[in-house]
Structure 1
Amino acid sequence: QIEKAGCVTKIQQAMFLAQCGHESAGFSVFIENLNYSDYALTQYFRKYFDALTAKKYARKPEQIANRVYANRMGNGDEESGDGWRYRGRGIIQITGKKNYIAFRNWLGRDFALHEMAEDLDLAVSAAVWYWQTNELASLASVEKVTVRINGGTNGLADRVALYRKLMA
């Protein structure tokens, strides 16, 4: 399926595999882990958590998801539960109601949300869709691809190391 993502060269394939490998913890985790400590919340999600708020949300994954993913990516507000419902799944961690709907339309069939974390073919298809839709195969920089996937540079060192290993 990797060719469907536009990954035809070794560089493009290594980039795809490195990013997906990082996002899925070495292809072992297909659902987003949001079980953060208060300290981690203030580091990774500064925009949403000051020290006091982080203490209230620490180690409450569902509440964390609903806060950080509220009112964006097609999700409703914090109370809607969309943040948790549409948290990251698959080998590239597709996130947000808008992305889930777009992926379903691209795939041409419906599926239960939990299937993206349980069905390897679906988890890979979601990554292919994301890569293709966001035209990531044309980017030749691990950092640029990371920002497009992650919104920042979280895990950049690991992504670079995976990419270099795949290119060796």
Structure 2
Amino acid sequence: MISYGMIRDCFPRLAPARLQIFTEAFNLHFPAYSLITPIRVAAFMAQIGHESGDLRHTVEIWGPTPQQRRYEPPSELANRLGNTQPGDGERFKGRGLIQVTGRFNYAQLSQALGEDFIGKPELLESPNMAVKSACWWWSSRNLNELADANDEHNFRKITRIINGGLNGWDDRLARWQRYKNIFVIGGNNASTVA
């Protein structure tokens, strides 16, 4: 079980009510996605902590920036994301703790989780769905296996899979090292946390 204190130690600036909501969501969804060992949880938390700005952002901040304008058809990026209709770029902007972006990815997530994210993309902004979608994303890319190696080489691979590069590498690495102390040492090196 992930305790409120563990989540508070990871994200000390988050409001207590929001910490509680996320703690409940992690405990609800982690077992279904095999996020049950301290090293898996530490790697997952390090990545989502960076991606979401300490659990503060579950939706992409929309400008639109020059990059975000490329989400709109008829660009090559829009085609890759499955964005076919005017307005799809903003409608299917990144949401979740590991941001799902584009009509195609929203459709995949809808099918996997049995929710209508195409019709109601804002559902992914809720803490519960932001956690569940990130767990699904993590699991569907077999990131637990990379996390199990518990080494910097594989953590770097996880970062590349999530980010497409190494943006924020120093922050992700520092979080991972700190969070391992929280979940492995703070959790008394338990073999499972969920």
May I ask how many residue pairs the two structures share in their alignment? 143
Whole-Å separation in 1 of the counterparts to 2:71 and 2:170: 25
Distance in 2 between the 1:167 and 1:105 partners? 33
Q: CA deviation at 1:104?
A: 1.0
Name structure 2 gaps, 5 residues minimum. 1-28, 148-153, 182-194
Deviation of 1:63 after TM superposition, in Å, equals 2.3
- Which stretches of structure 1, 4 residues or longer, exceed 3 Å deviation after superposition? 34-37
Letter in 1 for 2:130: A
Match of 1:99 among 100, 105, 116: 105
The alignment-based identity, stated in percent, is: 36
Pair 1:149-2:177 in alignment: no
Secondary structure at 1:11 match in 2: helix
The residue aligned with 2:12 is: none
Return the letter of the residue paired with 1:92. Answer: I
Q: Does 1:33 align with 2:61?
A: yes
**Which residue pairs with 1:12 in the alignment?**
40
Asked whether the equivalents of residues 74 and 97 of structure 1 are also in contact (C-alpha less than 8 Å), the reply is yes
Kept in 2: contact 1:142–1:159 (CA 8 A): no
The residue matched to 2:79 in structure 1 has which SS? coil
1:158 and 1:6 map into 2 onto residues whose CA distance is 25
- How far apart are 1:73 and its partner, in Å? 2.9
Uncovered stretches (5+) of structure 1, i.e. residues with no partner: 38-56
The question of whether the paired residues in 1 share the 8 Å contact of 2:71 and 2:81 is answered with no
**Alignment match, 2:93:** 87
The answer as to 2:174 corresponding to 1:161 is yes
When residues 162 and 68 of structure 1 are mapped into structure 2, their CA distance, relative to the original with a 3 A threshold, is farther
TM-score where L is the length of structure 1: 0.75
Q: Letter of the 1:90 partner, please give it.
A: G
Q: Distance in 2 between matches of 1:28 and 1:72?
A: 28
